[in-house]
């Protein structure tokens, strides 16, 4: 029996979350290297290296998820995989086949990052390169997982859907969830800036909202955020509904 879909729309219209796929690939690479460092000194060096790359707060009054404090965001992953220190730590992996795989995997993640995150259109040659890099990542992941008797992660499978989406529409990063995650980070950091409120979460939230609203208003006033080309009009009188288009007066029919 075939179950009906939860959301009745075409799967080809769904953007396969390229930012989270990049994060999944990067975080898993870091985890694999960490697991295969057997010398105690190398493990300590690795822990210090990752700690130095972390830039996000560890918690919000003890309320942040443990997984968040242990995972890496996009900027942190980018910093790690481009660091010569990370390449040196991969060289410390004793098992040679894994060491070669991790170097190939790290290089492939660096190469696939522009395709996943860039908002620019992707031309035909770039699409060919994108598929080649995705194939390399899939091959390296498959061989490493077979040797460890682990299953293939869904985000590796979704990487190939990213290629298909880019081939179909000519864009990928322009439709990604990066802007949403950026706003999430902005809210998070603004909330943390009011640490003087202690555990009074309501006060911190109010101050956070005030800061964010003032920041957005200042960006509109200075022109960094463009106003909508077609403002929403009242369906009764046809005049703009927004106050800033009515001499700062509340709209009335």
pLDDT 10s digits, 162-200 = 999 999 888 888 888 877 776 776 777 777 777 666 667
Distance CA 243, CA 237 (A): 15
Predicted pLDDT at 88: 94
Residue 242, sorted as left (phi over 0), alpha (psi -120 to 50) or beta, turns out to be beta
DSSP string, the chain: -PPPPSS-S-GGGS---HHHHHHHHHHHHHHHHHHT--SHHHHHHHHHHHHHH--S-S-STT-S-HHHHHS--HHHHHHHHT-HHHHHHHHT-SSHHHHHHHHHHHHHHHHHHHHHH--S---HHHHHHHHHHHHHHHHHHHHHHHHHT-PPPHHHHHHHHHHHHHHHHS-SGGGSSHHHHHHHHHHHHHHHTTGGGTT-HHHHHHHHHHHHHHHHHHHHHTTSSPPPSS--B-TTT--B-SGGGTTT-----
Predicted pLDDT at 220: 67
Considering the domain architecture, whether residues 151 and 214 belong to the same structural domain is answered as no
* Range with lowest mean pLDDT among 39-53, 88-102, 151-165: 151-165
Tokens found for residue 75: 């900027």
Predicted pLDDT at 130: 93
In this predicted model, which residue has the larger pLDDT, 92 or 150? 92
Considering the domain architecture, whether residues 76 and 122 belong to the same structural domain is answered as yes
Question: Is 4 among the domain residues?
Answer: no
Domain extent, residue 196, equals: 178-226
**Residue 12 binned pLDDT confidence (cut-offs 50, 70, 90):** low
pTM for the complete prediction? Answer: 0.67
Domain count, the chain: 2
pLDDT 10s digits, 57-93 = 555 444 444 444 457 888 889 999 999 999 999 999 9
Considering the domain architecture, whether residues 169 and 67 belong to the same structural domain is answered as yes
Predicted pLDDT at 193: 75
Considering the domain architecture, whether residues 199 and 129 belong to the same structural domain is answered as no
Considering the domain architecture, whether residues 165 and 184 belong to the same structural domain is answered as no
Tokens found for residue 114: 């522009």
């Amino acid at each position: 029996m075939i179950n009906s879909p939860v959301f009745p729309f075409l799967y080809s219209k769904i953007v396969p979350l390229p930012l989270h796929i990049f994060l999944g690939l990067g975080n898993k690479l870091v985890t694999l290297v960490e697991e295969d460092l057997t010398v105690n000194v190398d493990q300590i060096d690795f822990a210090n290296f990752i700690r130095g790359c972390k830039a996000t707060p560890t918690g919000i009054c003890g309320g942040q998820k443990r997984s968040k404090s242990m995972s890496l965001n996009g900027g942190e992953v980018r910093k790690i995989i481009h660091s010569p220190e990370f390449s040196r730590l991969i060289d410390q992996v004793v098992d040679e086949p894994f060491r070669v795989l991790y170097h190939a995997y790290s290089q492939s993640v660096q190469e696939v990052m522009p395709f996943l995150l860039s908002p620019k259109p992707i031309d035909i040659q770039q699409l060919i390169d994108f598929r080649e890099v995705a194939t390399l990542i899939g091959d390296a992941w498959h061989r490493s997982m077979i040797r460890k008797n682990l299953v293939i992660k869904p985000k590796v499978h979704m990487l190939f859907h990213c290629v298909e989406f880019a081939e179909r529409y000519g864009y990928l990063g322009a439709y990604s969830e990066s802007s949403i995650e950026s706003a999430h980070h902005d809210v998070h950091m603004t909330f943390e800036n009011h640490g003087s409120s202690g555990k009074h979460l309501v006060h911190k939230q109010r101050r956070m909202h005030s800061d964010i609203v003032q920041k957005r208003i200042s960006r509109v006033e200075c022109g960094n955020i463009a106003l909508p080309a077609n403002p929403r009009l009242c369906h009764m009188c046809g005049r703009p509904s927004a106050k800033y288009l009515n001499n700062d007066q509340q709209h009335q029919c």
